[in-house]
Each structure stands twice: as structure tokens, then as C-alpha cells.
Amino acid sequence: MAEKLTLGKALNTGLRRALERDPKVIIMGEDVGKLGGVFRITDGLQKDFGDDRVIDTPLAESGIIGTAIGLAIRGYRPICEIQFDGFVYPAYDQIVSQVAKMHYRSQGKVRLPIVIRIPFGGGIGAVEHHSESPEAYFAHTAGLKVVACSNPEDAYFMIQQAVESDDPIVFLEPKRRYWEKGDVDLDLDPASAHPLHASRTVRPGNDVTVLAYGPMVRTALDAAAAAEEDGRSLEVIDLRSLSPLDLGPAYESVRRTGRCVVVHEAPSNVGLGAELAARITEECFYSLESPVLRVTGFDTPYPAARVEEEYLPDLDRVLDAVDRSFGW
Amino acid sequence: MAKGGSPPDGELVQLLTPEGERIESVTGSDGTVYRADFTDDEYRGLYRDLVIVRKLDAEATALQRQGELGIWASLLGQEAAQVGSGRALRTQDMAFPTYREHGVLYCRGIDPIMPLGLFRGVDQGGWDPNEFKFNMYTIVIGAQTLHATGYAMGVTMDGKTGTDDGEAVIAYFGDGATSQGDVNEAFIWAGVFNAPLVFFCQNNQYAISEPLERQTRIPLYRRAAGFGFPGIRVDGNDVLASYAVTRAALDHARLGQGPTLIEAYTYRMGAHTTSDDPTRYRIASEVEAWQAKDPILRVRAFLEKQQIADAAFFTEVDEQAKREAVHLRERVLEMPDPQPTTIFDNVYAHGSPLVDKQRAGFNEYQASFEGSAH
């Protein structure tokens, strides 16, 4: 039965399912209990599952991840909420030096099935530290997996698949899309849903391949709709998994279109787009009609809210990149 | 406080003086009574542990000097703190070590070869913490205190506290670590969640070169008060007191009464690691003053005075220690270098397309040299 849910409610429902399915699954974070999280993603869960399974933690991000490691060694499957992207850095050491390496250094004897949920990206008019896109830091770290959902159905299934994963996962939630609605098939088993680490072509096209993830998928789709009016056919691929990347569909697409535009909110310098451009160039060199172009945030700190619309990639900047690709 | 000196009177639980005089019991400030009520067998057993642990440590230092280990972090001088606390653990208790807890590891009944792969550079010290109830060594200072706290929260959630046979957890760290945010966060969490946890701080007076006064203005054990749980300082060179204080704190934890901070006041007689040169930052007279408080000599003096052990016993212990050291050495020398392709193993639980591709590429590259003169 498909139901229309917001992305936020889809996450909430997915978390509820995960808690129901396995008594070892716990949620921990700041304000996740009574308040239900500042974005209400854990709304009602403490009331129904108890305060030893939905744990309001002290205000200390390294503590959240560090204790989650101990709980995972004890056999629990913690889902940690980092309240905002810009607050993950106090936990960076525990994530990069401990979470990411434990399976490797234990020669596979220790698994840390920890999910680190982070609302990320801008567009909500927030003060500084509340609109960042830290994905490259984590995608760069071996031992971590990084995924980003872009729509309610993916949010519902991907969060459940992440909880089932034997590897630690950084789970990025596009906070400005929390309120967007979409159909979610609540009866489908998550194991039968689109695989967690597989990309997906969300709009077929013939002229340009657009790669996006998280909040930029909607932007790319809007650009594709606008381009169609100009007679240009954009193929949009939602990467979904940023580490590992699943680029088979992207290679196939670029070999057909000969053009590729990558879109993300994070700054361009040494970002995901650079890796994508490098790999597509290696794999599709003889098919490319123009270089892979990037539409990204600027290489500045995230700016003040009143100018964030100028900072963030939007429909027009995507179309501009499409024009530049054709004009090369 | 004087650098490397004695703590103020009345702040240190001691049951065996440096001269080998046993103190029947000590009453802590909270009324807890600590007793040296061991059987003769137990006294002899503790002595045996101390001697073997020191001998194995010396063997590892020698192996490093001979190029067989890349580095070694010696526990010299800290044997009593480690043997005392290690022997106080029950089978069901879980320990989270730093990289220097070779003595605790030995007392847990774990083969001392286990961490040597890490120091030889043939692996990264991997074992299953749950199999040995002893976590892997942690090198990042203080990080493991949070892991221990989370694990202890899990013990509570599993309903394994509140009885005499409940489970307790012990987290080891040093004086330098007390300045880390993670350790302070662990104190907060353990207090808030009433975790069944013993924070065991071996204050060996130095964080590499930095003396204690670079880390604190007050005695470390007093920090516990600010976090809302008991703190106690024990003579870390006294194996009896280290045992008694740890046992009491573990029982406090297993009964569901929450965490305790133990500051084991000791001294790192050796270098921080084999790469360190302590003559650059501390004077010989200070080391000599601590030599007089040696953790092993005082037990031997006690055993002799009380006629609990005779010369044959001491000879036999020395011989066992030597045998175990030789056995350790032989096995270290036999440790093979890992195959280069193992670089790519266990990054993820079920592989990864990126790493798998790189492994295949590496193998192909290696194979391209086969049959060539190089």
C-alpha cells in the first residue's frame, strides 16, 4: 500500500520499523527523546520504545559516537543522530580513527553496525554551522560507507537498509527536503527495495548526463524539466551511495550522451565532483564531447542565509552548465 | 605538588609499604575498608605475576633493540597497578586497555604474544574483544574510555548489574589522557547513566615528556567529585592496595552503584616508548627515588619476612619468567610478514567494489614482474 509521506515522516516510519524488527537497535542523540529531534525525525519513538532504546544523550558528539562504539561491541546496533552537519566535527576523531578502522584492524573480528544520521546541506535560512555538506570528509575515509537519500521512498528504505548493514554508515539527510512529499510503498520488504549502494536513473534522457545526490536531485530534475522545454533531454542519475560509488549506470549514460554535469552543494575543490569527473574521464574518455563540468557551492565558508540562494546550485546554474557543455 | 614526588599524606591507600610492611586495613574517606586479606598462595601468585610481567616486558624491549619489534611501550614500574587491577577483575568483567596494559592482558590469561604483532608491524593488533573480555589496544589517547562507557551502558541495558555476580567494566588510561575531551565526556556519560565502570588512571607522572602539572592543578582522583562519583588514590606501586581498591570499585559497579575513578599513583621507570629519551626531561635522582618504591622488591621483602616463600620459590619464579620470555622471543621471531594483498582485506564486512578493484589491479601489477630479472 503506497502512502504519501514527507521525507521526514518516511525516515521516522523507517526508524520505527527498524526498532520493531530488532531489539538491539537503539537510537541515541541530542533531543531525540521527548522532543523527537529538532526536525522531529524521531518523533514519538521514545514514547513507544522507551528511554533505554531512544536515548537523550549529553550534549557531546564525540561521546555519542564513542559510546556507540562500545554499545556496538556489546552487540547493539546504534543509530546516532548528529543534530546538524556542522556539529559532527567534535565526533570526527571517533568516526575516522575508531569507527572506520575497527573492522580492518581487528582483521574482521569486530563489526560496528553503527548508523550516523546527519541532516546536511543548506536552503533553510539557518545561522552558520547549520547548512554544511561534509560528505567528502567521510567518503574519503576507508572503512566508512556514505549514503544520501533524496526522496521519501528512498528515505524509508535506505534508513532500514543502513541499520541492517554490517558496516558503519554515514547517512546524510537532505534537511531542506524533509517536508517534500512522495509515495512510499510501506508493504515492500526493505530487502526487496532498490539496493542501498546502487545509484538510480531517476529521469531518462539522451543529451546530457546529470549526476546528483541528496538535495540536488530535486534541483537536477527541475532543471531537466526546464531543459525539455528548450528541446534538450537531460538524463538524471541519483547517486544515492557516495561511498562506495556505483557508477555503472553513469558510465553507460555518458557513453550515450557524451556530456556530463555533476551537481552538489559542497564546494568543488577536492570534492565528490572531482572524483566523479576523474572516473568518468577514465572510463568514458572516447565518448566525451566536452569535459565533465561541476555545479557546486563555492570554495568559501557557507555564507550568511540572505545570500545562500546565490551560493547554492539551482536550476539556472545547472542549465548554464548544460549550455557550456554544448558550447565547448 | 612536587614533580614525581609523593602525594600528600592521608590521600593514598597503601597496604604494603615500600619496606614490605603490611598494613592490615585502610579506611577510605567514604568509609570503605580496604584489607590485605590474601591467602599465602595468593601472595605468592601476585609476586609470580609481577616478576613474569616485568620479565616479558624486558624481553619485548630487548626485541625492539634488536630490530625485531618496531617499537615497544614498556610498563616498567607499573607492574603492581596492572597486576593488582588485572587480578581484581572477574571472568565476566570487560577491560578496555591503552597500548601499555601488557600486565593486565597477562592477568586476563591472554597469551602475551597477542599484542606483539602490532609492535612488530605484522598486523594492527586485532583480536575479538568479546572472546577475551579485553578490548583491542587503543593508541589514540583516551578514545577507549568512551568505548568502555558505551559498553558499560550496554551491560546495564542487558540487566547484568545489581547482583553479586553482575558484570563490571574497567577503562585504563594515563595522566595525560585526563586532559582529553573524550575522557571528560566519558566521566560525564558514566555519571549520568550510572554506568558499571571503573576508570583506572595510571598516573605515571609523565605524558611522554610533560609532567603532571601540565595536565592538572588538583590531584587527579579529586576530579571525580565534580562529575558526581567517588574518586580514590591508591599506591600504584602496591599490588595489594591496587587489588583491593579495584576489587571494591568493581563490586560497587557490578552492584549497580555506578562509576569510580581510581588514580593509581605510580611512576614510569622506563621511557614512554623505545623511541623516547627520558634523560631530556627528568633527572636521575627522581628516578632513583622511585626505584626505592619498586613494586616487586616490596612484595619480595614481605614474603621473606613473613616466611611465605623461600629461596627455592624465588628461583623457581625467576626460571618460569625466563622460560616464558624465551618462548615469547621464539614466537616473535617466527611471526611471518603479512602477504601484501592482505592490505585490501577487511576494509568492509563484505568487500567493496573500489577496494576489490584496487586489489585486482595490484595483483596484476605484481604479476607483471614475474619472470623478470628485477
When mean pLDDT is compared across A197-206, B10-19, B155-164, the lowest value belongs to B10-19
ipTM for the whole predicted complex goes beyond 0.90: yes
- Inter-chain CB pairs, A–B, below 8 Å: 136
Among A309, A272, A265, which Cα is nearest to A292's? A272
- In the prediction, which pLDDT does B360 show? 97
Under the banding of pLDDT at 50, 70 and 90, the label for residue B371 is confident
Residue B87 grid coordinates:
587480578
Same domain (yes/no): B103, B230: yes
Question: Is B356 found in the same domain as B214?
Answer: no
Spatial distance between the Cα atoms of B57 and B75, rounded to a whole number of angstroms:
7
pLDDT in tens, B231-279: 999 999 999 999 999 999 999 999 999 999 999 999 999 999 999 999 9
Domain ranges of chain A: 2-192, 200-326
pTM above 0.95, yes or no: yes
Under an 8 Å CB criterion, which residues of B touch A? 96, 123-131, 135-136, 138, 140, 143, 145-155, 157-158, 181-182, 185-186, 188-189, 192, 345-350, 352-355
- Whether the predicted pLDDT of B282 surpasses 70: yes
Does the structure show a pLDDT above 80 at B10? no
- Structural domain that includes position B89: 25-334
Structure-block grid coordinates of residue B20: 614490605
The secondary structure of B151-175 as a DSSP string is HHHHHHHTT--SSTT---EEEEEET
CB contact under 8 A, A74 and B158: yes
Which are the catalytic amino acids of A?
A: 130
| B1 domain residue, yes or no | no
Contact flag B143-A57 (C-beta cutoff 8 Å): no
How many whole angstroms separate alpha carbon A47 and alpha carbon A314?
A: 40
**Do the beta carbons of residue A18 and residue A163 sit within 8 Å?**
yes
Q: Which of B130, B154, B346 sits opposite A103 (nearest CB)?
A: B346
Examine the domain organization and report whether B358 and B222 are in the same domain. Answer: no
| Closest Cα in chain B, distance from residue A195 (Å) | 14
A147-196 pLDDT, tens digit per residue, is 999 999 999 999 999 999 999 999 999 999 999 999 999 999 999 999 99
Residues of A in contact with B182 (CB under 8 A): 62-63, 66, 93-94
Contact B150 A66 (CB under 8 A): yes
Convert the pLDDT of each residue in A232-266 to its tens digit. 999 999 999 999 999 999 999 999 999 999 999 99
pLDDT in the model for residue B30: 82
Instruction: Give yes or no for residue A50 having a pLDDT over 50.
Output: yes
Q: Please check whether residue A36 is in contact with residue A45, taking contact to mean a CB–CB distance below 8 angstroms.
A: yes
Is omega for the bond preceding B18 within 30 degrees of 0, making it cis? no
Burial class (CB in 10 A: 0-12, 13-18, 19+), B7: middle
Give percent of chain B above pLDDT 90: 93
Interface test mutation site (partner A, options B146, B173, B199, B358, max chain A beta carbons within 10 A)? B146
Q: What does the pLDDT look like over A282-303, one tens digit per residue?
A: 999 999 999 999 999 999 999 9
Region A30-41: mean pLDDT is: 98
Q: Is the dihedral of CA A42, A44, A45, A51 positive or negative?
A: positive
Q: What is the pLDDT of residues B148-172, one digit of tens each?
A: 999 999 999 999 999 999 999 999 9
Interface contact flag, A105 B347, Cβ < 8 Å: no
> What is the maximum alpha-carbon separation in chain B?
77
- DSSP assignment of A250-271 equals HHHHHHHHS-EEEEEEEESTTS
Q: Which amino acid is at B334?
A: E
Q: Which residues of B touch A142 (CB under 8 A)?
A: 347, 355
Q: For A3, what's the count of Cα atoms within 13 Å in the CB-facing half-sphere?
A: 11
Q: Find, among B58, B17, B2, B10, the residue nearest to B237 by Cα.
A: B17
- CATH fold of A200-326 reads Rossmann fold (3.40.50)
What span, in angstroms and rounded, lies between the C-alpha atoms of A133 and A269?
A: 13
Best of B122, B123, B145, B185 to substitute, by most chain A Cβ atoms within 10 angstroms, is: B185
How many CB atoms sit inside 10 A of residue B344's CB? 17
- Provide the shortest C-alpha distance from residue B102 to chain A (in Å): 18
Give the best residue of B151, B156, B192 to mutate against chain A (max A CB count within 10 A). B151
Nearest-CB residue to A94 (from B125, B127, B143)? B143
- What letter does residue B179 receive in the DSSP assignment? G
Average pLDDT, chain A: 98
Q: What is the pLDDT of residues B220-235, one digit of tens each?
A: 999 999 999 999 999 9
Residue A62 contacts residue B146 (beta carbons within 8 Å): yes
Q: Domain count for chain B, please give it.
A: 2
B91 assigned to some structural domain: yes
* Residue B224 and residue B86 share a domain: yes
pLDDT in tens, B288-331: 999 999 999 999 999 999 999 999 999 999 999 999 999 999 99
Does residue B227 form part of some domain?
A: yes
Query: Tell me, what CATH number does B179's domain have?
Result: 3.40.50.970
Is the residue at B93 inside a domain?
yes
Q: Determine the Cα–Cα distance for residues A191 and A198; give it in Å rounded to an integer.
A: 13
Q: A52 to chain B: which residues are within 8 Å by CB?
A: 157
Q: Are residues B40 and B141 in the same domain?
A: yes
Topology (CATH) of A2-192: Rossmann fold (3.40.50)
Per-residue confidence (pLDDT) for residue B31, from 0 to 100: 87
> Nearest-CA residue of chain A relative to B128?
A109
- Closest-CA residue of B relative to A51 is B157
Across the interface, do B345 and A52 touch by the CB < 8 Å criterion?
no
Residues B307 and B344 in one domain: no
Residue B61 confidence (pLDDT): 98
Name which of A94, A105, A166 is nearest B146 (Cβ-Cβ).
Answer: A94
What's residue B29's pLDDT?
A: 80
Check if A2-192 and A200-326 are the same fold: yes
User: Within this chain, do residues B346 and B311 fall inside the same structural domain, yes or no?
Assistant: no
H-type alpha helices, chain A? 7-21, 45-49, 61-73, 92-93, 102-105, 135-139, 152-164, 216-229, 248-257, 272-284, 308-311, 315-326
Indicate yes or no: CB of A73 within 8 angstroms of CB of B147. Answer: yes
State the pLDDT at residue B4: 39
Q: In this predicted model, what pLDDT tens digit does every residue of B26-73 receive, in sequence order?
A: 998 888 999 988 999 999 999 999 999 999 999 999 999 999 999 999
| CB-based contact B148 A106, cutoff 8 Å | no
Asked if A61 and A95 touch (Cβ cutoff 8 Å), the reply is no
pLDDT for residue B132 is more than 70: yes
Residue B356 lies inside a defined structural domain of this protein: yes
Is residue B15, in this structure, part of any structural domain at all?
Answer: no
Partners of B355 on chain A (C-beta within 8 Å) are 142
DSSP secondary structure code for residue B307 in this structure: T
Question: Do B223 and B94 belong to one domain?
Answer: yes
Predicted confidence (pLDDT) per residue in B176-225, tens digit: 999 999 999 999 999 999 999 999 999 999 999 999 999 999 999 999 99
